[in-house]
Structure 1
Amino acid sequence: MDYPTFAADPVIVAAGFVNVADYPQELVEQVISEVACFLPASRWAKGCTDCDRRELAVKYLTAHRLTVLTQAGVVVSANTSGLIPGQISSISASQGSQSLSFAQSPEGTKGAGWLSEGQTPTYWWSLFLGMLQARLVAIGFTS
């Protein structure tokens, strides 16, 4: 996928990712390039003739990463569209003098792959995960 394809999507436009004052084209092109490399074409199902699932995945993951970069302060932008507020890090319950609580250990937030990618929940990440959970991705080995 290229920048013009990304920038032509009405949802991407509505989210503000084509505002070059907030998201310079060179930055967006770099993120698209990294994401496209991360999602090899040979791993994506081709059963749907009306859409390109890999292209959708690249759009969603690019938007996710741009949102995370903005939230982290790496990209200075007024746009924070797509952030899902908060992340459950602990759960507590009590009854009378008895209480029980569970908290995520610091080790639970480390790691590689999809776990670390999704540590900052965004709307875009939810769309991307929805594609994976709907089995729209072909699983297998590539050469």
Structure 2
Amino acid sequence: MPKDSNGKRRETTDVERVEVLKLYAEGCTYRKIQAQTGVSKSDVSKIIKRYKETGSLNKVPRPGRPRIIDERAMRRLDRITNNNPYATLAEITADSRLNCAPKTVARALHVLDYHLRVYNVGLWTMDYSAKEYNRGKNVVEDIRNYGL
């Protein structure tokens, strides 16, 4: 594989693969092709072999788990969030009709640059905050009363 500017490996581009095939058709050896293009000798042989077998230069799709939220679902999430900017994560998940966890929807919304969605409705309501505030006030009063 060719290397990028940081010295890390990267995939060959379409242009590089076409150039490899042109040089091979002209009768160049794998080593000459490597020297002219910067593509390793093993990659040159793989490109030529794939072209002979399939007649195509396209990359073969890699195996892996298919995405739960595809492009269409991402557009739907974007539309739902734009229509109701104050919707909670639970509401967005229910409205999207996706069969996935709210955390998966949260990751998708993060990719769409929507951040800080509430996971549970009513967790930090005014009533809950007031109870916490009063409990803290009571602790402070107890400390003052006992001289701690």
User: Normalising to structure 1: TM-score of the pair?
Assistant: 0.20
Q: Which has the higher strand share?
A: 1
Q: Which has the higher helix share?
A: 2
User: Normalising to structure 2: TM-score of the pair?
Assistant: 0.19
Of the two, which has the highest radius of gyration? 2
If asked which structure has higher relative contact order (CA below 8 Å, sep 6+), I would say 1
